[in-house]
A = this chain, B = another copy of it.
Amino acid sequence: MQQKLNIVPFVSVQNMMKLVLATGVERFLTDLAGYIEEDFRRWEMFNKAPRVASHSADGVIELMPTSDGETYGFKYVNGHPKNTRSGRQTVTAFGVLADVGNGYPILLTEMTILTALRTAAMSAVAAKYLAPKGARTMAMIGNGAQSEFQAIAFKAILGVDRLRLYDIDSSATRRCVNNVAGMGFDVTACASSQEAVEGAEIVTTVTADKQYAKILTDNMVGPGIHINAIGGDCPGKTELHRDILLRSDIFVEYKPQTRIEGEIQQIDPDHPVIELWQVIAGKAPGRTDERQITLFDSVGFAIEDFSALRYVRDQLRETGLYEELDLLADPDEPRDLFGMILRAAKPAAVMQQTGA
């Protein structure tokens, strides 16, 4: 990838969209899910740090680093709920991969779109191990920017082809319905979350309000359901009634982070939960009986972004969908950084500019 030491491949938003379209959304999500499963299987190899958050009145800016010992990756991501008022995204992100051996970055990419894709792929991977076998119907409560990605991931990876949609903002539901039209779904727009969950084997909650919400109440959750809880992802932001947690077998990405950010912030810190990687690695059971309620309490973890960065990096050579960024100083003589600057100018100019 790097002929020149100063160059870092950069994937712009335009190139990311081209990559998704050239690959096909379903295949992109399926391949990405494969990378996530691969990394979750080798979970113990990763250097796992909690994300580094800088909180302010209007939102949060986070850095999410991790490393498998050979490659280092981090994501910059913000969360600012009020941004939509100014025509901005609530969440934007970009990410970097680097070579642990020499510390040089090897990829810079937009991750706003990529995070939406990896979040959906992650949900589908969890459901693959936790949802009732042969599930075809998913209720989706919250039909915002993440909803179509969730729908397509569940179709591509689990064969879910019946959607029951509800959002307090019916225009969001209409948008989602229009966007997935012609993709092979049987879609029902519902008038309430109660109606949405009727007959659903999988319930995805993906709402945005920052509060202790009760998107799902206990009576709405029947036996055998898999709950894919995406929206509750920071302190003070949850979606499920506490009683549901107490009836469910709870699966999380990374306990130390989910205790703070996930649905389980509502319950006793000692309440048993299973880290999903253990199920994928065959160290813990997933769904064991058909009446069991399984809950994937998803908050998003750095290793998922690492998988997404790896996947994008592996597509570059073949697709060529990147630009070359002149990001790293590469002096002719490594210890002569200043000389590189001098030689970038006409000698005469330097003298004058350095005041000699």
Q: Do B84 and A104 have beta carbons less than 8 Å apart?
A: no
Q: Is A315 an interface residue (CB 8 A)?
A: no
Query: Chain copies in the assembly?
Result: 2
Question: Quick one: which of B13, B52, B79, B144 contacts A328, CB cutoff 8 A?
Answer: B13
Closest to A56 in B: B100
Closest to A89 in B: B334
Collect the chain B residues with CB atoms within 8 Å of residue A20's CB: 341
Q: Is A274 an interface residue (CB 8 A)?
A: no
Q: Which of A72, A87, A92, A342 has the most CB of B within 10 A?
A: A92
Interface residues in A286-333 (C-beta closer than 8 Å to B): 325-331, 333
Collect the chain B residues with CB atoms within 8 Å of residue A49's CB: 52, 54
CB of A18 to closest CB in B, whole Å? 7
CA–CA, A88 and B325, complex, Å: 17
Question: Quick one: which of B54, B78, B110, B146 contacts A102, CB cutoff 8 A?
Answer: B78
Q: Is A113 an interface residue (CB 8 A)?
A: yes
CA–CA, A234 and B65, complex, Å: 20
Q: Do A13 and B329 have beta carbons less than 8 Å apart?
A: yes
CA–CA, A340 and B342, complex, Å: 46
CA–CA, A83 and B84, complex, Å: 45
Question: Quick one: which of B13, B69, B334 contacts A88, CB cutoff 8 A?
Answer: B334
Q: Is A209 an interface residue (CB 8 A)?
A: no
Collect the chain B residues with CB atoms within 8 Å of residue A5's CB: 87-88
Q: Do A182 and B94 have beta carbons less than 8 Å apart?
A: no
Q: Do A17 and B183 have beta carbons less than 8 Å apart?
A: no
Collect the chain B residues with CB atoms within 8 Å of residue A267's CB: none
Q: Do A325 and B78 have beta carbons less than 8 Å apart?
A: no
Q: Do B52 and A65 have beta carbons less than 8 Å apart?
A: yes
CA–CA, A77 and B234, complex, Å: 28
> Interface-forming stretch among A210-218, A219-227, A238-246, A348-356?
A348-356
CB of A298 to closest CB in B, whole Å? 18
Collect the chain B residues with CB atoms within 8 Å of residue A344's CB: 14, 17-18, 21
Shortest 9 CB-CB contacts between residues of A and residues of B: A78-B103, A24-B353, A112-B329, A148-B338, A12-B326, A145-B337, A183-B356, A17-B344, A84-B334
CB of A285 to closest CB in B, whole Å? 32
